[in-house]
Amino acid sequence: MPLLFSYGTLRDPAVQRSVFGRELAGRTDRIVGFRVDRLEITDPAVLAVSGEAFHPILVRTGDATATVEGSALEVTEDELLLADGYEVDDYRRVEASLASNDTAWVYVGHE
């Protein structure tokens, strides 16, 4: 089962129920080589689900000592597509290394 690393709204059980139809199993982890910035959300559908006008967004640093805490969530391939539909165009999904030595999908800012 793929892992989806979340550092923002996808960790919220209400958002998970809205996007995936269920609450996701997961564990605390850290993503390596990124820092967090903020992104203003204007998509009405995303605003309705999250209730937040500003969402965190990851920016690659290239620094292996830089980490961001979040959750490694267990999802299906179909749920990855649902997550793609939830995230606005300012995000793109990439694979990245976690501090646990796992690899996970994560949404980051365009480089």
Token pair in block for residue 7: 């550092």
C-alpha torsion angle, residues 89, 94, 96, 100 (rounded to 10) = 80
10 Å Cβ neighbour count for 11? 16
Domain boundaries, the chain: 3-109
Kindly report the backbone phi and psi dihedral angles of residue 78, in degrees, each rounded to the nearest multiple of 5, phi listed first: -65, -35
Instruction: Kindly report the CATH number that applies to the domain delimited by 3-109.
Output: 3.10.490.10
Q: What's the pLDDT tens digit per position in 47-91? A: 888 887 888 889 999 898 999 999 999 999 999 999 999 887 878
Token pair in block for residue 103: 């690899």
Mean pLDDT score of the chain, rounded to an integer?
Answer: 91
Cα angle 84-66-62, degrees, rounded to a multiple of 5: 75
